[in-house]
Chains A and B, each alone.
Chain A
Amino acid sequence: MDVTNLRFLFYAYSAAWIIITIFVLMLVSRGRKIDRELARLKALVEDKERS
C-alpha cells in the first residue's frame, strides 16, 4: 500500500481524538462539580428547614 502522507493522516486523527477526549474530561469534571454543589445546597436547605 502507498503510505504517502500517512504521518499527516495520523496527526489529524490524533488531534481529533485528543480534542474530543479533552472535551469529555472537561464535561465529566464539570458534572462532578455541579453534583457536589447540588448535594451541598440540598443539605443546607434541609438543615435550615429543620432549624
Chain B
Amino acid sequence: MREKATYALGILGAIVMIWNLHHIFTQMAPEAAQGMAGWILFIHVPADFMGDILYTIALVTSILFLVKKDFTYDSISVACIEVGTMFILVNLVTGSIWGKNQWGIWWTWDLRLTTQLMKFLLYLGYLVVRPAIAEATQRATMSAFIAIFAYADVPLVMMAIRLPNVRTQHPSPVIETGGINSVAVPFVVGIIAQLLMALALMLVRLHQENTRREIDSLRRELHAL
C-alpha cells in the first residue's frame, strides 16, 4: 500500500509538471523582456518554496525530537532536509541558468544568491555530518542542533530582497510586485507538482530511515547474543 501510494504520488507529480510545461507553451505568451527564459520562474520559485517548507518542517520536528526524544521526529527531519536540499539545488542551478541569460553571468556574490548558497551548504553539512556519528541518540541530538542552527539562514534569504538599503540584482517576488495574476496558473501548478514529488520522495526516505533503525536494533541484538 505504501509503495503504491509512493509511486502514485511520484508519477502524478511528474504528469502535473509535464502538463504545466504544456500549458505554458500553448497558453502563455513569452515574457516581453526575457522571452521564454522568463518561464524558468515556474520551476525555480516552486523549488525554493518546497525547500523552505521542508526545512521549516525539519525545524519543528528537530525541536520536537529534543523535547520528546522520539526518533520518529528525527526520521522526519532527515527526510525533509535531504529532499529539501535537492529542491534547493534545483533552485540554485535553474537560477544560475536564468542569470546567465539575463545578466550574462552564471553567478554573482549578490546578497540573495550568497545567502541561498549558504543555506544549501549548511544543510549539506547536516547531511555530511549525520552519518559520521555512530551512536543513534547522539546522532539524532547533534542533527537536531545543526538543523535548528541552519534554519537561521532561511529568513535571511527571504529578507535579502526586502531589506531597505540593500542593493541586489535579484528580481523582487512577483507576488509582491503585483505580477502574479498573469502567471498564477503555471506558478500554482508548479508548486503542486513539486509538492507531490516531495511527498513521494519523503515517503521513500522515511521508510529507509525506519529500516535503518531496524538494522541498528538487529545489530544490538546480534551483539548481545
Contacts and interface: CB of A to CB of B under 8 A. Distances in A.
Interface in A8-51: 8-9, 11-13, 15-16, 19-20, 23-24, 27, 30-31, 34-35, 37-38, 41-42, 44-45, 48-49
B211 A35 contact: yes
Interface of A is mostly: helix
Interface string B210-223: 01101100110110
Interface residues of B, number: 38
Interface of B is mostly: helix
B118 to A, nearest CB: 19
A15 B85 CA distance: 15
A27 B90 contact: no
Interface of A: 1-6, 8-9, 11-13, 15-16, 19-20, 23-24, 27, 30-31, 34-35, 37-38, 41-42, 44-45, 48-49
Interface of B: 10, 21, 29-30, 34-40, 43-44, 47, 86, 89-90, 93-94, 97-98, 100-101, 197, 201, 204-205, 207-208, 211-212, 214-215, 218-219, 221-222, 225
